[in-house]
Amino acid sequence: MHTAAAIISLAQTHKNSLEYYLLSNHMPKQLEVFHRHELNAMLLLNNEKPVALSQFLKCSFRNLETLINQPTYKHYTIAKKKGGTRDIFAPEDNLKRIQKRLNYYLQAYYLCIKPKEVHGFVVNPHYMGTYYNIVGNAAAHTQKKVVLNIDLKDFFPSISAKRVKDLFASSYFNFNDQIAKALALLTTYQGKLPAGAPTSPVISNFVCLSLDHDLSAFCKAHNWAFSRYADDLTFSSNIAISNEQILDIINIIKKNHFKINEKKLRLKTNNRKQIVTGLTVNEKVNVDRKLLKKIRAMLHDFTRNGIDAATQKHFNLKSATAAEHRVKFIQRLEGYINFIGLVRGKNDALYLRSKRSFDEMLIGVA
C-alpha cells in the first residue's frame, strides 16, 4: 500500500503524461509501470481546475454547474431487517452517471491507501489477488475468548457536507477550495452524505481513515484484533475486555465525530455464539446455523411440495402464488446456497450437496 503523499507526489511528477493520456487515451511509456488502480488514482488527483474536472467527468462545464447547484434526487424508504425504515436518496440519471464515474476513481485511490483492517466498500481488482468481503472481515476474530461488536449510528447521514468538503481539501487529496467544494456538492445532498448515491460508500471510507488509524493503534497497544466493515466495528481478544476499555473505544469514536448505536453493542465470550457481520467465528468462519436450517427447510419444501407451496409457505402468502413470487423464491434460495459457497468454499460438502439438490429441482421446474 502507498501513502497519500506518495500518490499525490506521483500525480505531480507525471502531470503532463497524465493530461496527455486523459485527452488522447494513448498510454505514455512512463505510465506503463503502474497498476490500473494506481494510474486511475493519479488521474483523479490531477484535477486542479473546474474545466479539467468537467473533462475528467466527461460532462460539459454548463451541465456540471447545473448538477452542482441544482441536484435532483428521488427519496424513498426501505424497511430495515429489525424494524424501522431507512431513507434512500437516489440521484437522477445524469448525476448518477457522474457519481458512478467519480466512484470508479475514488475507489481506485482508496485501494492505494486503505488500512488492512477495512473490508467493506472496497473494490477487488483481479490482478491484486486479494478479496475484501464479510468473510475476510470475520476471519480476524476466530477462536477468540471475547468478541466486541459496535455499530456506528446513522452512518451516512452523520457525515456532513462540510466534512466531505474538508476531506477533499485535506492532505489526502490536496484539492484547492474550488474543486473540493464542487466535489462535495456533487456527492452530498441536503447537507449530508446520502444513502443511495454511488459515491457515498467510498467517501465514508475516506472519512473514516482517521478513525481506523486511531482504533488500530489502540488495539495494537492492547494486543487486540480489529476490523471494520462499513459501520460495523469488531474487536476481539484472548483476554477480558473491561468496561473502561469499551469506554476508551467509544471516546475514540466520539473524537472522530461518530456516535455508536447503543442497542447493537455486544460483548460475547466464547461460551456463547460470537457473530461478526452475520457469520459465526467461535471455531472458524461459518454460516449461522439459523440460515443453514432455513436453507434446508426451503430445499425440503421445494422437493416435497413443489415450487408453489414452498413459495407460499416461506413468503407467508395466503393467496395463489404469482410468477414473480416464484422467481423471487428461486433467486433467494440460490443466493443463500451461493453464500454457503462464499463462506465455506466451493469444495465444501454442504455447499455441493445443496447446489446439486437445487439444480435438480430447477430442472423439474423448467
Q: Tell me, rounded to whole angstroms, the distance of Cα 136 from its chain centroid.
A: 13
Pairwise CA distance, residues 358 & 361, whole Å? 5
Nearest to 167 by CA among 209, 136, 198, 135: 209
What is the spatial order of strands in the sheet that 232-237 belongs to? 225-229, 232-237, 146-151, 266-269
CB 245 within 8 A of CB 263: no
CB 210 within 8 A of CB 253: no
pLDDT in the model for residue 129: 78
Nearest to 156 by CA among 231, 228, 227: 231
Q: pLDDT (tens digit, 0 to 9) for every residue of the chain, 366 residues total?
A: 689 999 999 999 999 999 899 888 899 999 999 999 999 999 999 999 999 999 999 999 999 999 999 999 999 998 887 777 889 999 999 999 999 999 999 999 999 999 999 999 999 888 887 889 999 999 999 999 999 999 999 999 999 999 999 999 999 999 999 999 999 999 999 999 999 999 999 999 999 999 999 999 999 999 999 999 999 999 999 999 999 999 999 999 999 999 999 999 999 999 999 999 999 999 999 999 999 999 999 999 998 888 888 998 888 887 766 788 889 999 999 999 999 999 999 999 999 999 999 999 888 665
Q: Tell me, rounded to whole angstroms, the distance of Cα 325 from its chain centroid.
A: 29
pLDDT in the model for residue 224: 98
Nearest to 284 by CA among 294, 270, 265, 295: 270
pLDDT in the model for residue 137: 97
pLDDT in the model for residue 183: 98
- Whole-prediction pTM: 0.93
Secondary structure of residue 220 in the 3-state scheme = helix
pLDDT in the model for residue 244: 97
Beta strands 85-91 and 232-237, pairing class: unpaired
Place of cell 465514508: 204
Pairwise CA distance, residues 249 & 243, whole Å? 10
Nearest to 281 by CA among 141, 148, 146: 141
What kind and span of H or E run contains 207?
helix 200-207
CB 310 within 8 A of CB 302: yes
pLDDT in the model for residue 364: 67
Secondary structure of residue 160 in the 3-state scheme = strand
pLDDT in the model for residue 366: 57
- Here the cell at position 66 is 447545473
